[in-house]
Structure 1
């Protein structure tokens, strides 16, 4: 039921009010008696938040509703309010027909494997501790979450006087970013700032393709950088002052190098470019790799010598602030580096040296396909890491075939120092995937 980012799927089939009610019941029955609930801008969010809140209260818990808010605002509010857990009703970067539920601890860390397993068990067994009329819990609104998050960002970052930032909110819940940047002294221009859960301006996920308007705007104005969020603002991607989209691996290297020093480690998933390793080695730091998913990065970020964690997809974690990926904090920290160290393009000049190819392929039976990928890879290659998908190290480069934890996709990644070799490795990954997809389809037909 839980993927790498909580429960997520299409509203009306995978994600329903009945499911949200059951998750609320399971939370309160498991002992999470004081629960913060918030949502992104999707129309279905209000329905699901109401159902989840009803489930918590039906089992004697109390609910604090923070309304429409960024996921990092919701996650941080759990600790600020001394609550037991929080729930963000969001499908993050997924398309508008989807929604989901992501569960948070007071530290800002998402529920770990053991916690998710206990909630799943209660859902499977219907093990809820319903109360009578005199035990039903209460609910109240907390209107100050936005202001509290802004204050935290201003405390974490220095003056941004003289910096012009273009913020593409993507019609999502990330308005806190623009407010914080202005309070820190930056000049801010917003794009797509009207909340609208149908995401009419661009798809929710901020990528080089979906952020073309932001790139053009920055290139045509005096903006020093651009930042873009997904629907719930747990992700941030960037555009430099020339209008060039910054690859997520390079942004990870920039953030990590700015935070880490000799002997420190940075947590990053196994689909991360070797450019990050090289950039950190220059300051005496190193990378510790995790499974793909911010929950796994956050788990490693609890270790004492891990000072930063991130994913090339745009999730950034500063564990001294919060264990939740905080897109608004990333935006403010990035603007701070421009204020203190000069143009973003110049800072990125020394980062790179590798060619990385990425592609996502839609697939219905991704688990069955990945089973075949694993068997085929084991029969064809010596250096195979199957800890999360199938990663094949070829000495002069690597490729990864991995099922998405949030969508019906299989993601292909390949990297090498030379473009021609990266293409060869990418074609090997694609061939492996296509052979596995054919085998899975044949096996399905034979069983019918």
Structure 2
């Protein structure tokens, strides 16, 4: 039912009003008496918000509706409104045919495995605590959460001068970024700024390929950089002043390096490049690896020496602010970094780039394949991490073998500091997969 970032899928198939009603009932039945509820720009969100609200109220929870807002705006509002939980109706970067639900705690963090399983169990077993007729929950509108979010971002950054920035809103909820940067004194231009859940300007997921219009526009202007969001603006990716897409691991390394001091740690998932380790090493800082998913990165940031967490997907977490990936905050942080330290292209150029190889292998039984790979690497390698797939670290680099969460595939990734070492590690990893699939 839950993926790494909530519930998500095609409307009318995986995601229905019936499911939304059930999740609302389950969240309230778990003792969450005050719940903040909002959505992204998809039209199906109207129906799903009503269904979630009905389920919450039916089990006695009061609903604080914020309307169409970014996921980080709603996540911050859970604490701001002294609520117990937040629910965002969004499919994030998925296509317009999809929708879904993200569940947030007062810290901004997504519901963890135990909370997710408690919700899933209630939905599976149809186990809800329905309130009597005279103790149903109330439903009310809250209108100032966006301003509160904006004020927190403005207080968190201090850009130098009046930098020119292009913001690709992607027809989603990320207009907050443009208004915050304007309030900070930036010269702001926007692309795809009209809210439209069919995402006519570009696909909702910001990637090198989907940000071609942003890259071209920035390259033909005096902008210092361009930033882009997905549909619910929890992600942020960027292009530099030349219009060149900033590699995701490089952006992670830049944020990590800016956040860390000696002895600090940065939380990253197991598939993160060695470039982040090497960027932090001169500072006396280090990485701590987690399972893939912003919920696991956010959980690691609860440890006192972890000052930042990020996923190369574009999810960036500053735990002193919120444990929800915050795209508008990330955009403001990047503008601050560039305005204070120089051109983004030069900053990116200071981050090492290493060869990396990836492939996917069809398997009939993902569980059996991964069990076989674990047995084989335990005898062959000294440094093995099995928290999320199988990650093997060597003196030269690393490889990761990880089952797909949605398809009958095993994904293989290998990286080293030289091409020959990358090729060797990649060949070792694919040979392991081939061996277990023949068993």
- Does the TM-score normalized on the shorter chain lie above 0.5? yes
CA contact (8 A) 1:78 1:106 kept: yes
CA contact (8 A) 2:370 2:403 kept: no
**Is 1:382 paired with 2:380?**
yes
How far has the Cα of 1:432 moved from its partner? 6.0
Q: What residue in structure 2 maps to residue 18 of structure 1?
A: 18
How far has the Cα of 1:171 moved from its partner? 1.4
Q: What residue in structure 2 maps to residue 187 of structure 1?
A: 187
CA contact (8 A) 1:4 1:406 kept: no
How far has the Cα of 1:395 moved from its partner? 3.9
**Is 1:138 paired with 2:138?**
yes
Q: What residue in structure 1 maps to residue 148 of structure 2?
A: 148
Q: What residue in structure 1 maps to residue 223 of structure 2?
A: 223
CA contact (8 A) 1:268 1:297 kept: yes
CA contact (8 A) 2:79 2:106 kept: yes
Deviations 1:304-323 (A, max 9, x none): 11000001111100000001
CA 1:113/1:85 → structure 2, altered by over 3 Å: closer, same or farther? same
Deviations 1:213-264 (A, max 9, x none): 2112211211101111111111111111111111111111111111110111
Unmatched tracts of structure 2, length 5 or more = none
Of 323-332 and 369-378, deviating more is: 369-378
How far has the Cα of 1:419 moved from its partner? 3.2
How far has the Cα of 1:374 moved from its partner? 4.2
How far has the Cα of 1:425 moved from its partner? 4.2
**Is 1:369 paired with 2:366?**
yes
**Is 1:89 paired with 2:93?**
no
C-alpha distance in structure 1 between counterparts of 2:11 and 2:155, whole Å: 38
Q: What residue in structure 2 maps to residue 206 of structure 1?
A: 206
Q: TM-score, normalised by structure 1?
A: 0.91
How far has the Cα of 1:428 moved from its partner? 5.6
CA contact (8 A) 1:22 1:52 kept: yes
CA 1:431/1:97 → structure 2, altered by over 3 Å: closer, same or farther? farther
Deviations 1:57-101 (A, max 9, x none): 001111011111110011001011001100011111222222211
How far has the Cα of 1:163 moved from its partner? 0.7
CA 1:110/1:220 → structure 2, altered by over 3 Å: closer, same or farther? same
CA 1:204/1:320 → structure 2, altered by over 3 Å: closer, same or farther? same
CA contact (8 A) 1:238 1:246 kept: yes
C-alpha distance in structure 2 between counterparts of 1:45 and 1:9, whole Å: 13
CA contact (8 A) 1:370 1:389 kept: no
RMSD: 2.3
CA contact (8 A) 1:49 1:89 kept: yes
How far has the Cα of 1:331 moved from its partner? 0.3
CA contact (8 A) 2:398 2:425 kept: yes
How far has the Cα of 1:411 moved from its partner? 4.5
CA 1:207/1:413 → structure 2, altered by over 3 Å: closer, same or farther? farther
Q: What residue in structure 1 maps to residue 268 of structure 2?
A: 268
CA contact (8 A) 1:208 1:245 kept: yes
Q: TM-score, normalised by structure 2?
A: 0.93
CA contact (8 A) 1:8 1:406 kept: no
Of 56-65 and 380-389, deviating more is: 380-389
* 1:13-412 → structure 2 map (5 Å cutoff): 13-358=13-358, 368-369=365-366, 371-376=368-373, 378-379=375-376, 382-383=380-381, 384-405=384-405, 411-412=411-412
CA contact (8 A) 2:373 2:433 kept: no
SS in 1 for 2:37: strand
C-alpha distance in structure 2 between counterparts of 1:82 and 1:36, whole Å: 9
